[in-house]
């Protein structure tokens, strides 16, 4: 099998997860890394035994040895970096969100489709064993008709700094950072319905920055389900781990993290708590391992990745609609 050579664009916190995942995949070579400073790139290169380190993407664009790049850069750089590498025939993995807006995401889609290259977006919860289990439960109809869901992505008494709080680089705050996970997770569980309408209240309550740190969304899906999504940084409380989703059906209830199910049984309730492989942390390395192995497999077998352009664009549509809804104080209809 042909060896796949990859380059890392960005050497921050999340890039470590991707590099550790790549290390475990056969027939893949880490060839280069680009970071904001040469010192950061060299430190990352030394850590993972990567031979080339740069502080600019230009040396990599014409490097024909590179098959794919992994973008772990600030959100505003996703589109220009993706377009540059697609133009030179590279497959691209983009850490979530796909772009800072639907308009920017569509530019990536056009470029990728024009040269038939692959783009995958890092909505990693689709690779979690518990999420996959719950999706199967829903698809079997065990919970009946899904009426509503409640999901969140929240940091309790903590929030990021740096580019995450710079609107020009991040595009948004907690919604773009944490809320997108909750949005894509529920879409995955519900078999990717299209959003029909979004109503949102988004605010900045805890920090001196331009971006949001508090958000509540109500999404109406094409299958009739209503989803409540919460996003936040520095919140005084969260209802469990930093990300969770609850599913309410006509025949039962289920939630992720901790994963459990509750079914109607006459006047009583049957509660199930399935067991899964132990995680070392909530966003465990194993999820990223499976995600990156899948991306490489799509390259090797010439398959379209899921989640990819289609899924990433839908999330961007919802986020755009949420910010617009909060600004106007009214629900926003979403068109396809």
Same-fold call for 4-124+286-306 versus 126-280+316-333: no
Residue ranges per domain, the chain?
Answer: 4-124+286-306, 126-280+316-333
What would the pLDDT profile of 262-276 be if each residue is shown by its tens digit? Answer: 998 777 678 888 999
What would the pLDDT profile of 190-240 be if each residue is shown by its tens digit? Answer: 999 999 999 999 999 999 999 999 999 999 999 999 999 999 999 999 988
Phi, psi of 243, deg, nearest 5:
-145, 135
What CATH number is given for 126-280+316-333 in this structure?
3.30.360.10
Considering the segment(s) 4-124+286-306 as one domain, its CATH architecture is 3-Layer(aba) Sandwich (3.40)
Phi, psi of 33, deg, nearest 5:
-140, 140
State the pLDDT confidence band at 258, using cuts at 50, 70 and 90: confident
State the pLDDT confidence band at 336, using cuts at 50, 70 and 90: confident
What would the pLDDT profile of 159-201 be if each residue is shown by its tens digit? Answer: 999 999 999 999 999 999 999 999 999 999 999 999 999 999 9
- Predicted pLDDT at 280: 85
State the pLDDT confidence band at 298, using cuts at 50, 70 and 90: very high
Query: How far is 307 from 291, CA to CA, in rounded Å?
Result: 10
């Amino acid at each position: 099998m042909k060896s796949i050579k990859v380059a890392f664009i960005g050497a921050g916190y999340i890039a470590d997860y991707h590099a550790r995942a790549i290390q475990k995949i056969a027939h893949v070579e880490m060839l280069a890394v680009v970071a904001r400073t040469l010192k950061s790139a060299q430190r990352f290169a030394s850590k993972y035994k990567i031979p080339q380190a740069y502080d600019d993407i230009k040396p990599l664009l014409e490097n024909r040895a590179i098959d794919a790049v992994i973008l772990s850069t600030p959100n505003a750089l996703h589109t220009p970096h993706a377009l540059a590498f697609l133009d030179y025939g590279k497959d691209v993995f983009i850490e979530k969100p796909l772009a800072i807006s639907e308009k920017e995401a569509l530019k990536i889609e056009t470029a990728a489709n024009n040269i038939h290259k692959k783009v995958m977006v890092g909505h990693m919860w689709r690779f979690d064993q518990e999420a996959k289990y719950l999706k199967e439960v829903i698809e079997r109809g065990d919970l009946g008709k899904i009426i509503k869901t409640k999901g969140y992505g929240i940091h309790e008494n903590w929030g990021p700094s740096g580019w995450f709080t710079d609107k020009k680089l991040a595009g948004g705050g907690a919604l773009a950072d944490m809320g997108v996970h909750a949005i894509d997770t529920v879409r995955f569980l519900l078999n990717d319905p299209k959003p029909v309408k979004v109503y949102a209240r988004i605010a900045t309550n805890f920090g001196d920055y331009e971006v949001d740190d508090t958000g509540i969304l109500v999404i109406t899906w094409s299958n009739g389900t209503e989803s409540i999504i919460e996003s936040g940084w520095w919140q005084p409380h969260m209802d469990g781990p930093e990300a969770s989703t609850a599913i309410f059906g006509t025949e039962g209830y289920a939630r992720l993290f901790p994963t459990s199910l509750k079914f109607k049984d006459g006047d009583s309730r049957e509660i199930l708590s399935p067991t899964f492989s132990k995680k070392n942390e909530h966003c465990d390395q194993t999820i990223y391992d499976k995600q990156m192995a899948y991306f490489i497999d799509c390259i090797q077998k010439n398959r379209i990745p899921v989640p990819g352009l289609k899924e990433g664009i839908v999330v961007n549509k919802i986020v755009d609609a949420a910010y617009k809804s909060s600004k106007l104080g009214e629900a926003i209809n979403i068109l396809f």
